[in-house]
Amino acid sequence: MRLSGIVNSKSVMPERIVVGVADMAVTNDQNATLITYALGSCIGVTIYDPVAHVGGLLHFMLPIRTNRRDRQGESSAMFGDIAIPMLFKKCYALGAKKERLVICAAGGAEVLSDKGVFKVGSRNRTLIRKMFWMNDILLSADETGGTIARTMSLKMSDGSVEIRTNGKGTVIWPL
């Protein structure tokens, strides 16, 4: 499983860093844009420090990594409970400070009429709320739920976060 990890460079040309499913990337390159496609039930989390100019984007798939799945060797970025702390630590390593972070989330959609026990979108949404609440973190923008797929991007030059769906783009931060 690919894990983009830290992209610590200062490119001259604008660079698009694509974050795949179960993947994350952090950077301090102000010319970069971090982008992830096809957020369905999965959740995308962006974090951005406007002073240190450090940002990161995570695309996780499932809420919790169980002991059973530990043996299968999947990427940690697949599971929110492991991947979210990892995203923050990678940004701290590049100089980001918790008190300055702008944090946004998108995705967590559901299939229609899912009356079963699964509800992965809801459980992913519950996980981020629980984790952020326990760590005294507030979401600056939250574009989750519904039944649509979303593309999420973080522009490192100004920290703006855009959500695109069905051909239309909306900047969710800054408002």
Partner 1 sequence: MASVDNILRSVGTMSALPGTVARIIAILNDTESNSKEITEIIRRDEVLSLAVLRAANSVAYGVPGKTFDIRQATVRLGSAVLTQIALSQQMSPLFKCAGSAYGLRRNALWGGALGGAYAAEQLAKVHGFDDSKLCFLCGLVRDIGQLAIDAHCGETHATIATTDENRSFLDDERAAIGTDHTEVGAALASRWSLPDRIVDAIRYHHGPPGPTQAEHDRLFDIVHAADVICLWAGLGIGDDGLRYRVAEHVSESLLANREQVEDIISSVSTQIARASEELDVTLGAGEIA
Interacting residues toward partner 1 by CB under 8 A: 1-2, 18, 20-22, 36-42, 59, 61-62, 66, 68-69, 72-75, 78, 109-118, 120-121, 146-151, 164-167
Q: Is 131 helix (H, G, I), strand (E, B) or coil?
A: helix
CB nearer partner 1, residue 30 or residue 151: 151
DSSP for 41-78, written as a single string: SSEEEEEEETTTTEEEEEEE-BS---HHHHTTT--GGG
To partner 1, the closest distance from the beta carbon of 74 in angstroms equals: 5
Q: What is the dihedral of CA 14, 139, 83, 69, to 10 degrees?
A: -130
CB nearer partner 1, residue 20 or residue 50: 20
To partner 1, the closest distance from the beta carbon of 59 in angstroms equals: 8
To partner 1, the closest distance from the beta carbon of 143 in angstroms equals: 13
Token readout for 19 is 């974050």
Token readout for 78 is 């697949």
CB nearer partner 1, residue 101 or residue 109: 109
Token readout for 45 is 């989390």
To partner 1, the closest distance from the beta carbon of 144 in angstroms equals: 13
| Residues 47, 106: Cα–Cα separation, whole Å | 12
CB nearer partner 1, residue 28 or residue 36: 36
